[in-house]
Amino acid sequence: MRFFLSLWLALALAFIAPAGLVGAQVAPLSADSATQSAIDYDSWQATATRAEAALEAGKASNGALETLREEIAVWRDKFLAAQNTNKARIDTIQSQIATLGPVPEGGEAEDIANRRAELNAQLARLQAPVLAAEEAHSRAAGLIAEIDRIIRDRQAEALVSLGPSPLNPANWAVGLEELLNSFDMLWSETSRNWQNDVRQAEFRQNAPVAFGIALLGLLLILRGRKWFDRLATRVRRMSPRGVEVWHFLISLGKVLIPWVGILFVAQAIIETGFIGLRGSTLLNYLPIWGLSVLVVRWLADRLFPEGNGPALLLVEPSHRAEARYYATGLALLTMLATVANVLSEVGNFSPEAEAVIGFPIVCVVSLLLFRMGQFISRQIALAQSGDAEVGYRHRVTRLAFRAAQLVAVVGPLMWAVGYRNAASALVYPTVMTLILLGLVVVLQKLVSDIYRLVTRAEDEAQEALIPVLIGFLLTLATLPLLALIWGVRAAELLEIWTRFRAGFTIGDTTISPTDFIMFAVVFSLGYMLTRVIQGALRSSILPKTKIDAGGQTAIVSGLGYVGVVLSAIVAITSAGLDLSSIAIVAGALSVGIGFGLQNIVSNFVSGIILLIERPVAEGDWIEVGGKMGYVRDISVRSTRIETFDRTDLIVPNADLVSGTVTNYTRGNTIGRVIVPVGVAYGSDTRKIETVLREIAEAHPMIVLNPPPSVIFQGFGADSLNFEIRAILRDVNWSLSVKSDLNHEIARRFGEEGIEIPFAQRDIWLRNPEALTGAGKATAPVVPAEEASLRRDETVSPFRDLEVDDPASLAAGDAPEGDSK
């Protein structure tokens, strides 16, 4: 039973405890001297002395220790609140004393000395209740830690204790006898009440109400699920937007309505007046048992739905009914185990009877657990071998059920040997863990459906960031529940929260969650304010000034750095964090970080230099390291350059500051373009110069002041070389201007009859007969001295090649260059 109670207790803690703890957290912030006067230290002294005596004796039960612990925890919370007594006044006096400074070696003036003594006396008087609260808080925390240690040791000892074995035939009769005696006592109580005249008169008076409530409860139990199944079918036929969300809400009625029916039936039985004390104890647990079974059945319906629709776990539609039967069977058998535990407490069973009665139940539970683990693992393996995509969730599910199979084998063996407590603490928490994981999967699916309903997203809802983050938070929220399921006491979880709420101490500084929240809120506000001011400057103010685009970017970026630093400083000050005590450690860490991250620091400083000096600004056309492109972004560590190939080039800022950088558009976009051109030998050079100048001056992108120039560079090997050198209005159009000029040069040279040469080569063969064979040569051999170099008068010069072995041409060994 304690496993189901742990789950419901965890849910209560999840919703109730934070509110109470937040309220407890508010008290220290508003505490004053009245808090100290409200603490009765005499009563605390008596409680602490009694607790110390009980711990020294070591005879108190776990229940008594838990009660004593709760009482001490209340005192500890009071002492924690009292530690902030007169805090503001103490801070003020400490500041006044610090203002006076240390006492000079030669002494100080009498009035200053009197004032210092007066302040020290006030400080001692104000700190006295704080010191008393701190001492009492330390004592209470020590007692609580000792109680927790004793209870944990007892729990560990109980787990490893060896009890009677259920396989011993001598224990069977004892178990059966005590079980029958328990039922006999229940029947005897009911029989005595039935024969009691007062009870009969009470029954006759309450019979109509009892029968009416019982019939209504049975109707809700038997027909409630079918009613909501029909309603869900109608909703699906209507196909409204967000049908999955509405179907989920309707499915909750399949749990709520039958559970109300169970409450009515239990109340009807109590109204008869014939149930005794033991029967009433069982009836008090009946709603919890019924709710547990209904919830597991509802989870099975959500995880393995009927029909051919998609399932949250990879199970074929033809096998989903089997999975639902396994889940329902585990819930019923786990409920039966809790019934046996309650009967054991009511009937005060012996360890032999508990071992014998619980062994068949744990064996059947383990068998169903093993079969379900085997079934789910096989279904996921089949889906993985097919075309279905097996995600991370399904791999974790498969691993969890593999572990459950191992527990299903080990648990009954441990129970059979005699380690009943260890087996019970292993098998039933495993079942509860699987139920909890199934609940998390269903809630994650609900979050995705709600996100799809709100955003009207269909395919991307499962992979969107917000549902994934909420699902991750749901998974984290299950950690306290898992701790309770696996035997961690609720008091221990509250102790962890209390320690977290009290904060931790670094040097003389205590940092609490309140400090973190204050720091996060103030820094977030400062950061958002910085971004708002940056946006206003970028879009409204700076565009109306005469500052260029690079200067505007530098101002906005610099303001961002300053705003972040100021926000951090203000947030630290607002949170009340005194970092002076860790200044030495921070200094040592900064030195180590400086050596380890010197390149990053160098790039950061270089980025600041680029923003202030602005040798390179966004939009500039630069060349660095042999790469050209436009500067698109200057960040803290690097600069992003977009090349002409539309690729991003990331350059460290240090390279731009310490290296050689060519900036083609720094200050203005005016730049020079050079267009080389060659003409054939024999052309009129003055005419060429005139034509090229006319071409350059006619282009609209070329400025006329200074005018373009035409340079006769010299005599080349194949041509007379000229260059057009002109200043462009915008150097970004240099390639386009070069292309336009080349087109115009080709057109005008064609009209003027000016030839643009290209290299040609003549090949003279000394022995042409070698190409047709030595015996067939009939042409006379041309002497080498008669072969002369001939030049075509109408074309550019030729290069003549002499080949001594013409046969090599036939073999494919042609000389380099063009052949004719």
Q: What is the per-residue pLDDT for 785?
A: 45
How far apart CA 742 and CA 753 sit, in angstroms, is 16
How far apart CA 174 and CA 351 sit, in angstroms, is 10
User: Is the predicted pLDDT of residue 227 greater than 70, yes or no?
Assistant: yes
Question: Where do we find the tokens 């001297």?
Answer: 33
Contact status, residue 619 vs residue 665, Cβ threshold 8 Å: yes
How many other CB atoms are there within 10 angstroms of residue 348's CB atom? 9
How far apart CA 357 and CA 636 sit, in angstroms, is 71
User: Is the predicted pLDDT of residue 789 greater than 60, yes or no?
Assistant: no
Portion of the chain with pLDDT greater than 70, in percent:
82
Contacts of residues 346-349 at CB distance under 8 Å and 24 or more positions apart, as own/partner, are 346/182, 346/278, 346/281, 346/282, 347/178, 347/179, 347/181, 347/182, 347/185, 347/278, 349/175, 349/178, 349/179, 349/182
Q: What is the per-residue pLDDT for 810?
A: 46
Q: What is the per-residue pLDDT for 735?
A: 87
Which is more confidently placed, 335 or 240? 335
How far apart CA 220 and CA 228 sit, in angstroms, is 11
Contact status, residue 51 vs residue 68, Cβ threshold 8 Å: yes
Confidence label for 790 from pLDDT (cuts 50, 70 and 90):
very low
List the structure tokens of 746: 């080709």
Q: What is the per-residue pLDDT for 3?
A: 43
For residue 212, which amino acid is it? G
Portion of the chain with pLDDT greater than 90, in percent:
22
Q: What is the per-residue pLDDT for 788?
A: 42
Torsion of CA 289, 271, 342, 344, to 10 degrees: -150
Rama region for 272: left / alpha / beta (φ>0; ψ in -120 to 50; rest): alpha
Task: Summarize pLDDT for 709-728 with one digit per residue, the tens.
Answer: 999 999 988 889 999 999 99
Q: Which of 311-320, 402-411, 570-579 has the highest mean pLDDT?
A: 402-411
Confidence label for 787 from pLDDT (cuts 50, 70 and 90):
very low
How far apart CA 583 and CA 569 sit, in angstroms, is 15
User: Is the predicted pLDDT of residue 408 greater than 90, yes or no?
Assistant: yes
Contact status, residue 616 vs residue 622, Cβ threshold 8 Å: yes
How far apart CA 649 and CA 628 sit, in angstroms, is 9
Q: What is the per-residue pLDDT for 456?
A: 73
Helix (H), strand (E) at residue 765:
strand 760-765
Task: Summarize pLDDT for 626-652 with one digit per residue, the tens.
Answer: 888 998 888 777 889 998 888 888 998
User: Which residues does residue 216 pair with via DSSP β-bridges, in sequence order?
Assistant: none
Report, in this order, helix, strand and coil percent for the chain, each rounded to 5: 70, 10, 20
User: Is the predicted pLDDT of residue 775 greater than 50, yes or no?
Assistant: no
How open is the CA angle 797-801-806, to the nearest 5 degrees?
150
Average pLDDT over residues 579-588: 59
Q: What is the per-residue pLDDT for 723?
A: 93
Helix boundaries (H) for 456-464: none
How far apart CA 54 and CA 150 sit, in angstroms, is 11
How open is the CA angle 102-106-110, to the nearest 5 degrees?
75
Confidence label for 295 from pLDDT (cuts 50, 70 and 90):
very high
Output the average pLDDT for the chain: 80
Task: Summarize pLDDT for 352-375 with one digit per residue, the tens.
Answer: 999 999 999 999 999 999 999 888
User: Is the predicted pLDDT of residue 27 greater than 70, yes or no?
Assistant: no
Q: What is the per-residue pLDDT for 794?
A: 38
Which residues lie below 8 Å from residue 452, measured CB to CB, with a gap of 6+? 242, 244, 458, 461
User: Is the predicted pLDDT of residue 798 greater than 60, yes or no?
Assistant: no
User: Which residues does residue 640 pair with via DSSP β-bridges, in sequence order?
Assistant: 633, 650
Q: What is the per-residue pLDDT for 676?
A: 93
Q: What is the per-residue pLDDT for 5?
A: 43
How open is the CA angle 157-163-169, to the nearest 5 degrees?
175
Among candidates 636, 457, 469, 464, which has minimal Cα distance to 560? 636
Helix pair angle (549-574, 598-613), 10° resolution: 130
DSSP string, 668-726: ---EEEEEEEEE-TT--HHHHHHHHHHHHHH-TTB-SSSPPEEEEEEE-SSSEEEEEEE
Question: Where do we find the tokens 């006030």?
Answer: 122
How many other CB atoms are there within 10 angstroms of residue 266's CB atom? 22
Confidence label for 458 from pLDDT (cuts 50, 70 and 90):
low
Backbone angles phi, psi at 790, to 5 degrees: -110, 140
User: Which residues does residue 802 pair with via DSSP β-bridges, in sequence order?
Assistant: 764
Q: Longest C-alpha distance within the chain, in Å?
A: 155
Among candidates 650, 646, 656, which has minimal Cα distance to 624? 656
Question: Where do we find the tokens 């005897």?
Answer: 188
Q: What is the per-residue pLDDT for 30?
A: 38
Backbone angles phi, psi at 162, to 5 degrees: -95, 120
Backbone angles phi, psi at 621, to 5 degrees: -95, 115
Q: What is the per-residue pLDDT for 784?
A: 45
For residue 361, which amino acid is it? I
Q: What is the per-residue pLDDT for 318?
A: 82
Which is more confidently placed, 166 or 12? 166
Torsion of CA 517, 521, 522, 528, to 10 degrees: 160
How far apart CA 65 and CA 144 sit, in angstroms, is 10
pTM tops 0.75, yes or no: no
Task: Summarize pLDDT for 125-168 with one digit per residue, the tens.
Answer: 988 888 899 899 899 989 999 999 999 899 889 888 998 999 99
Q: What is the DSSP letter of 541?
A: I
Q: What is the DSSP letter of 313?
A: S
How far apart CA 753 and CA 425 sit, in angstroms, is 104
User: Is the predicted pLDDT of residue 553 greater than 80, yes or no?
Assistant: no
How far apart CA 548 and CA 545 sit, in angstroms, is 8
Please state which of the ranges 73-77, 82-86, 734-738, 790-794 shows the lowest mean pLDDT: 790-794
Q: What is the per-residue pLDDT for 390?
A: 62
Q: What is the per-residue pLDDT for 695?
A: 92
Average pLDDT over residues 741-763: 85
User: Is the predicted pLDDT of residue 62 greater than 90, yes or no?
Assistant: no
Helix pair angle (513-536, 2-30), 10° resolution: 70
Q: What is the DSSP letter of 505?
A: E
Task: Summarize pLDDT for 662-682 with one digit per residue, the tens.
Answer: 888 877 788 889 999 999 988
Q: What is the per-residue pLDDT for 745?
A: 92
Q: What is the per-residue pLDDT for 274?
A: 80
Q: What is the DSSP letter of 780?
A: P
Q: What is the per-residue pLDDT for 428?
A: 93
Which is more confidently placed, 515 or 177? 177
Confidence label for 8 from pLDDT (cuts 50, 70 and 90):
very low
Which is more confidently placed, 586 or 741? 741
CA distances from 793 to 97, 119, 576, 667, 812 (A): 107, 114, 96, 52, 31
Question: Where do we find the tokens 């407890």?
Answer: 24
What domains lie within the chain, and their CATH numbers?
31-160 (no CATH), 513-661 (no CATH), 671-752 (3.30.70.100), 760-810 (no CATH)
Q: What is the per-residue pLDDT for 584?
A: 57
